[in-house]
Structure 1
């Protein structure tokens, strides 16, 4: 089972980075290359524990639907989303947020996945899939970093939860 481990230092409070990472709006903004769209009932706001979201996106030239669920949430330290339905055999994405200082956070992604199609899936991992997924996650993290470090972050976090000011 391939594992992708990424670390991103962000000049922003941990709570802000945590919430941006759960924002549906920032996910859409960070995945413009794959034209991701929410096709589930929940379309806006921050994902909470036990909530599911279904995405439709074009990856590797094929339109796909993928449903993931927040299966663990420990504010503002970590959360986990897991695939419920989709093209992978399975995936678990752990999001960990370590406070470096009052205004600096280390965001850690641990993405474990299992490709479908047995031997062919393993071959795809070696040839291109792991690199493709790593690049996809790095691009998403770069958008989170840029937004968190700018004044734009307030546009992506739901004010009704009283989360502004981070």
Structure 2
């Protein structure tokens, strides 16, 4: 299993960043390079506690589907999305939003994941996913930052 953190400074208040981070259309736009879209569950608007969404995207030339649920929700400080069906053996993504003391937010993503396929999955984590996943989350966060800071 792999765990990584990405911290992003955003010049917008925590509530704004929290709300933007739960917006399906913002997420979809942030993953445009992977042609990601919501195809089931909540497919537009802002996600709420207990909501599920099924994402479809193309990574590594393959089409993937993952259904995740908002399993924890404490606005504007924290929420968690977890895979309930999809390509990972485990996917747990905790989103934290802390005031930076200057009117902005430190957004901290903590992701725990495990690839499927036993030993082959472990090799995939170390060979590819340990670098790919943090870059993917960082790219998403840059989009969230741009939207949140635009007001």
Quickly name the TM-score band, shorter chain normalised.
over 0.9
Q: Work out the CA distance in 2 between the residues paired with 1:80 and 1:16.
A: 17
The normalised TM-score by structure 1 is: 0.88
Q: Work out the CA distance in 2 between the residues paired with 1:104 and 1:37.
A: 29
Give 1:101 deviation, angstroms.
2.6
Q: What 5-or-longer segments of structure 1 have no aligned partner?
A: 152-166
**Structure 1 stretches of at least 4 aligned residues deviating more than 4 Å after TM superposition:** none
Contact 2:14 2:105 in 1 (8 A): yes
Q: Work out the CA distance in 2 between the residues paired with 1:41 and 1:108.
A: 26
What is the match of residue 18 of structure 1? 18
Q: Work out the CA distance in 1 between the residues paired with 2:108 and 2:133.
A: 15
Give 1:102 deviation, angstroms.
5.4
Aligned length: 151
Greater gyration radius: 1
Give 1:90 deviation, angstroms.
1.1
Give 1:37 deviation, angstroms.
1.2
Q: Work out the CA distance in 2 between the residues paired with 1:132 and 1:41.
A: 26
Higher share in strand: 2
Q: CA RMSD in A?
A: 0.9
The normalised TM-score by structure 2 is: 0.97
